[in-house]
């Protein structure tokens, strides 16, 4: 996408957001991005956000990066847990299991 097209889309997005009060700005959507990705956002809010995404390439890119970051975080966390389980002494593992049961 060339710079002229990007500029026109930016102007269009700004015009739509200013003239339709139910459409929020990019910064306002950032506050509940986690709920959107987690599918815990109310349906009406989800539809408004999806409309915003349809006219906002910056938010689409940010959402894709956010999802990639979440996936990497889960992967790193899973690997850390797996390595802990492999390296932890048996007595420590048993102590943790015992503490969970009490």
| No. of helices (H) and no. of strands (E), the chain | 6, 0
Query: Who has greater pLDDT, 13 or 68?
Result: 68
Residue 63: pLDDT above 90?
Answer: yes
Domain of 25?
3-101
- Buried b / exposed e over 35-63, threshold 16 CB at 10 Å, is ebeeeebeeeeeebbeebbeebeebeebb
Any idea which residue has 């815990």 for tokens?
40
> Residue 68: what pLDDT?
93
Q: How many domains does the chain have?
A: 1
Tens-digit pLDDT profile for residues 12-34:
766 766 666 666 677 777 778 88
> Residue 85: what pLDDT?
67
């Amino acid at each position: 996408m060339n710079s002229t097209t990007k500029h026109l889309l930016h102007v269009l997005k700004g015009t739509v957001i200013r003239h339709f009060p139910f459409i929020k700005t990019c910064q306002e959507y950032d506050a509940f991005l986690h709920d959107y990705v987690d599918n815990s956002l109310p349906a009406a809010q989800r539809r408004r956000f999806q409309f915003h995404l349809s006219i906002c390439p910056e938010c689409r890119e940010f959402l894709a990066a956010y999802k990639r970051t979440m996936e990497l975080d889960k992967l790193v966390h899973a690997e850390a847990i797996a390595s802990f389980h492999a390296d932890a002494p048996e007595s420590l593992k048993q102590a943790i299991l015992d503490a969970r049961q009490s």
